[in-house]
Amino acid sequence: MRYQQIIFDVDDTLIDFAATEDFALHSLFNAHHWQLTNDIQRRYHSYNQGLWRELELGKINYDQLTKMTFHNFIKKNLGLEVDGEKVMNEYRSYFGETHKLLPGVEDTLRFAKKQGYKLTVLTNGEKYMQRYRLELAGIKKYFDLIVTSEEAHYSKPDSHVFDYFFSRTEIGANDTVFFGDGLKSDILGSENYGLDSIWYNHRHRKNTLNLHPIFEVDNYPQLVQLMQNDFQRKY
């Protein structure tokens, strides 16, 4: 086989992040009787993405992210003073309840496992939360190794998170391919590390960074076809 190991991202690669965020945010605002308009939801999504980019770049850490996110957002958009850490923990409890898989995920994992690939996860997220969500989604059993940025103390695209990952597996980077949706985290991190990657571009975004994944797909049946062809030709 061209590769022995496939690394998967979690959010918006295995689990539908948009559906998860939507459920968690509505649940949180409903519990506090806060009005959640479409505009506020769009603002939260943009604001949250910005904070995660800062985390990925090492500008803030997890503790700062936890305390800042809702404290700052609710104060700015609703004019209310809240305990940021307490509200974030409440939000995460709702976030953990949602685990909608993207179409074709489990069939693809089952096929890959039968083909003999070692399946692993490398995710920017919390150790307990990501494992719990994969368990609830019924797919944790397919993975031989799950590594989170919380454990590694670095986030994708930082090369240190890849160093940590490969210290935990016996299969090297030359025999591994990364499959993920995140251009600025998964694909950039892989390229900088010298690791082959497949961009799961199901949201049909532009390659604004001019990166070079070996393949680009927008659904899981295309990944299955790549495996059937041993990744030997462009889909």
The C-alpha atoms of residue 169 and residue 200 are separated, in whole angstroms, by 23
Q: 165, 152 in Cβ contact below 8 A?
A: yes
Q: Is 9 a catalytic residue?
A: yes
Side-chain-side CA neighbours of 87 within 13 Å: the count stands at 22
Q: 160, 152 in Cβ contact below 8 A?
A: yes
Q: 149, 130 in Cβ contact below 8 A?
A: no
Query: Which residues lie closer than 8 Å to 174 by C-beta, 6 or more apart?
Result: none
Set 9, 11, 16, 196: catalytic member: 9
| Residue in 205, 206, 166, 169 with CA at minimum distance from that of residue 189 | 166
Listing DSSP states for 60-110 in one string gives S-HHHHHHHHHHHHHHHHH-----HHHHHHHHHHHHTT--PBPTTHHHHHH
Please state, as a whole number, how many other Cβ atoms lie within 10 Å of the Cβ of residue 111.
Answer: 16
User: Catalytic residues, which ones?
Assistant: 9
